[in-house]
Amino acid sequence: MFTCFLFQCAFAQSGFVLLKNKKLSFPFIFAHNLVIIPVEVNGFMMNFLLDTGVKETMVFGKSIGDVDHTIFKNKFQGLGRSSGIDGILTINNHLLIAKRMEDKDHPIYILDNEHIDISSRIGVEVNGILGSRFFADYRIAFDFLKKRITVFPKNDIPKAWSKLTKLPIEIIGSRPFVEISVQQYKEQINGKALIDMGNSDAVLLLKNRLKEYEIRPPSITDYIGQGFNGEIYGLRNRIKELTVGPFHMSFPLVAYPEMESVQNARIITDRIGSIGNELLRRFQIIFDYPNRQIYLSKNRNFDKFYYLNMSGLEIVHDGVKWEKEEVPVALKRGGSNEVNFDNKMQFKFILKPLFKIDMVRAASPAQLAGLMKDDKILAVNGRTVSAYTLEDLTNLMKSEEGKEIVMKIERNGVKMDFRFTLQDPLPFIH
């Protein structure tokens, strides 16, 4: 699953200022290969998805309250089957990140979010999208192992960066592009790719931009993600190699959106695709928009295999429920030592997530076992589903080929058990 929000829009320039002009480091949430950061907007804390694929900042629905400074409406186009989504521009917004990165006059578009549902698909509340305005004026480093972002003062170039690989990028419509090379047989195809942090896949290729390119079997028809224009469908396969600068990555998964999902998107003439966070997370990466370059260094994820969800299930949040949890009573005796009495228990009630199946890929192990869209998940491999996070369930379905999955579900009020074995539908055939 990935989100792909692509548009261009111009408005009066405003920007972030790094207070105290000192290096700023803060943590981020990495869920479903998407980077989420907390941002204070007009005094309210909100979660934003960081996305290099867009320029403007957007909020879903009326999350920031009444709109006092409406300027105009705009329609945003991207990948997907529908005709786009309306946004209302508001001005004079105050944004503060980690107490020290501030924009006092930040334009925000409030979107009609009827067709955008990121939160239920990644298991983390997401209130909006923060685009290239975050990256525009400073060098910004991402450490995907420590899950930390570091913002450097404008004149600060650490000596350690001399050991990193520096690659040129083009900034077109406020979005970063880099040259890549893809190879699925002996031939190589070179072209320009958007560096898209709003894309959770490794690689997305635009088939209509690749001359004489045939998608190598095996391939599968799959749900690819959600864009401004609705749901995105297409094909997936593996290619032999993808190259970015001196870095060669073997057998990455590639998504090919169908023509119907691409037809309304505004795409620059010589672009052949995108690279997303499943690839970027294998590096320490530093964006340097002011100097039109990025710095890259391999991390320990670099040589890891590109795993696919082998179950064929798209699982989403389906609300929450109150659940009773037993807690042993702890009494203090003789100072700070605690004595637990096994026969004395108390209870607390906590909110636990509910999950359901939103989609089942055709001919997948889950479909062949009989699982269906809208089945409510009760337990997985003997554990009640409330013991899992959505990320846990996704990782389980990617864990290892041949692993058996046992699911208890509820369908139309009837509880049912299903069993299937994870199988990679895209083995690379040499």
DSSP 22-66: --EEEE-EEETTEEEEEEEETTEEEEEEE-TT-SSEEEETTTT-S
Residue range 95-118: mean pLDDT, rounded: 86
- Measure the CA–CA gap between 52 and 73, rounded to whole angstroms: 22
pLDDT band of residue 11 (cuts 50, 70, 90) is: very low
Give pLDDT tens digits for 159-207: 999 999 999 999 999 999 999 999 988 889 999 999 999 999 999 999 9
Q: What is the pLDDT of residue 104?
A: 95
CB-based contact 203:252 (threshold 8 Å): yes
pLDDT band of residue 52 (cuts 50, 70, 90) is: very high
* Radius of gyration (C-alpha) of the chain in whole angstroms: 23
- The encoded tokens of residue 161 equal 């960066």
Give pLDDT tens digits for 325-383: 665 655 555 455 554 545 555 555 566 789 999 999 999 999 999 999 999 999 999 99
- Measure the CA–CA gap between 220 and 21, rounded to whole angstroms: 50
pLDDT band of residue 62 (cuts 50, 70, 90) is: low
Domains along the sequence of the chain with CATH: 2-152 (2.40.70.10), 159-298 (2.40.70.10), 313-321+352-421 (2.30.42.10)
Give pLDDT tens digits for 206-253: 998 888 888 999 999 998 887 766 788 899 999 999 999 999 999 999
**Side-chain half-sphere CA neighbours of 416 within 13 A:** 13
Pairing mode, if any, of strands 271-275 and 188-195?
A: parallel
Give pLDDT tens digits for 248-290: 999 999 999 998 766 666 678 889 999 999 999 999 999 999 9
Q: What is the pLDDT of residue 225?
A: 83
Cα–Cα distances in angstroms (integers) from residue 244 to residues 66, 183, 269, 283, 288, in the given order: 45, 12, 20, 12, 17
